[in-house]
Amino acid sequence: MADVLERRVTFPSGARPPVLLEGVIARASASGGAPTAGQPVAVLCHPQPLTSNMSDPLTMRLASDLAAAGFITLRFNFRGVGASEGQQTDGRLEPLDLAGAVEFALAEPGADREKLCLVGHAFGATVALVYAAHDPRVKTVVAISPPIFRLTPELATFERPKLFITGEHDEVSPRHKLEPWIERLPARGLKIISGARHLMRGYETTAAQAVVHYLVRWAATPGV
């Protein structure tokens, strides 16, 4: 796999007035120093802001592995987390943070604006699904362990493809509760990570492989 270069960045949220958020761009190192054109873009949303941040092990692994696979990735801290400004709002304003992240990532040199995906874990999965419904530039979403208590009838009903991932022993997003909700959605798939719990601790490699496999195939498929 290609060497990955990371760069710390700051960017404004989509709120008015905006708050300044911190993040990390990762991408494969370019031969000759010029960015490769037409790179798909993945924006990553971390789990619950009260207990997690963009340095969550799975979020970091996904950012690195996707960058090595040819994606431009941006992981970032939601408002009120780490050095990101603002106050946490338990999902009310965090989609605006994601809006700012999307704009910033798509402005990266070489970014393919037709190949934008969101990857969210737990709380971040819900934010990704909420935001994607309102931005048709998002062509697919990977939602890892979206908490059952945050699922609503209208969430994720958009027609674009979605992959859901949950752990075999996920205590917050158990398969027997998640699966009936997913079954009524259009253009969806479900992957179970054997042995894993909600935060995928110890199963980051397996979960990341599932996400990268799906997104590499998606990126190579024209018009999706």
Check whether 2 has a pLDDT greater than 90.
Answer: no
Residues in the chain, overall count: 224
Considering only CA atoms, which of 168, 213, 160 is closest in space to residue 188? 160
Check whether 58 has a pLDDT greater than 80.
Answer: yes
Q: What is the pLDDT of residues 213-224, one digit of tens each?
A: 999 999 999 988
3-class SS of residue 137: coil
Which pLDDT belongs to residue 33?
62
| CATH class of the domain whose range is 4-29+37-219 | alpha beta
Helices (H) and strands (E) in the chain, counts: 5, 8
Q: How large is the average pLDDT for residues 176-205? A: 97
Considering only CA atoms, which of 77, 73, 70 is closest in space to residue 61? 73
Which pLDDT belongs to residue 29?
85
pLDDT bracket for residue 37 (50, 70, 90)? confident
pLDDT bracket for residue 15 (50, 70, 90)? confident
Pairing of strands 20-28, 4-12: antiparallel
Q: What is the pLDDT of residues 144-163, one digit of tens each?
A: 999 999 999 999 999 999 99
CA atoms of 47 and 199, how far apart (whole Å) = 8
